[in-house]
Amino acid sequence: MAEVVRARPQDEAISEIRRASAAIRDNVTSVIVGAEEAIELVLAALLAGGHVLLEDVPGTGKTMLARSFARSIGASFHRIQCTADLMPSDILGVHFFSQRTGEFEFRPGPIEANVVLADEVNRATPRTQSALLEAMEERQNTVDGEPRPLPHPFLLLATQNPIELEGTFPLPEAQLDRFLLRLKLGYPDEMGEVAVLRRFAATSPLDCLQPVVSAAELVALGEVLARVHVEDAVAEYIVRLCRATREHVAFDLGASPRAALALFRASRAVAAMDGRDYVRPDDVKRLAQPVLAHRLLLSSQTRLRGRSADDVLDEILREVPVPIADWV
């Protein structure tokens, strides 16, 4: 049975989100080849004020993706190379005694930027990983008892290599739950890889990338997402999906209420990027795996059977009834 949607007058602010999103997407795709879905979802996270975990093998363009987004919105960018000897102060900043002034001064850490890339985040120790929690959740970091607000917008893009696990520290569930999305870029197809060779034959297209939307404008557009309407039936569908993961025998740990809220926020963002001021069940289904899969803890029996969280989520999406609108 086809979904019926209500005709609504076009909201000018929603139209502006669609225009700005298309401009950023076109700008980033001039650099990154063959990752249109990932680009779209990172943009949704940026609008919704969330963070992204990029899990893929080296050489797929994760760092370039982060830099492309930062340049497209004229934002500051810092890169943190995570290693076992990285300390929390290397990320947050430190007070030091200045011989010139005779006073203690603060040297900001790389966390104080609009777009922060934490490269190979699972190579940092748990103590250093936990230094990111406050920044991710509260948009501030505290050094020596002094809270410091982070710039807006603030997007943390963390990467990890799913193949090479020696010398790594798996991210705890509490930290995984703070990532709005987990994405994989993957390899481009054959023609896409040829396009990469041609595009980077002389110079990097990143070098001439210009801002198409200001960071301040993006923050203002993110506030408009509150106008995107979510029907009670769609909100209940989000909750039923999350509750189904908690009750499924394949999981030792299901999706938290924070996960349901993340799915709600991300669905609003993709609806607005599509020029709609209402969320459809299809938006929720599209986002279920990137929003929920990394938050779920498989049981040992499920892992022994070779099933992944994505496999079980596919099953849940087939079983949970999709709401059908009975209004026009």
**Residue 181: strand, helix, or coil:** strand
Tokens of 111: 């966390």
The strand pairing partners of 54, in sequence order, are: 159, 183
CB atoms within 10 A of CB 314: 13
Sequence-distant (≥ 6) Cβ neighbours of residue 113 within 8 angstroms: 75, 76, 77, 78, 151
**Residue 53: strand, helix, or coil:** strand
Domain ranges of the chain: 15-226, 228-322
Per-residue pLDDT of the chain (328 residues; tens, 9 = 90+): 334 444 444 578 899 999 999 999 999 999 998 889 999 999 999 999 999 999 988 888 899 999 999 999 999 999 999 999 999 999 999 888 778 888 888 889 999 999 999 999 999 999 999 889 889 989 998 888 888 999 999 999 999 987 777 778 888 888 899 999 999 888 888 998 898 889 888 888 888 899 999 999 999 999 999 999 999 999 999 999 999 999 999 999 999 999 999 999 999 999 999 999 999 999 999 999 999 999 999 999 988 888 999 999 999 999 999 998 654 3
**Same fold flag, 15-226 and 228-322:** no
May I ask the CATH architecture of the domain 228-322? Orthogonal Bundle (1.10)
Distance of CA 2 to the CA centre of its chain: 31
As a whole number of angstroms, the distance between CA 165 and CA 140 comes to 30
May I ask the CATH architecture of the domain 15-226? 3-Layer(aba) Sandwich (3.40)
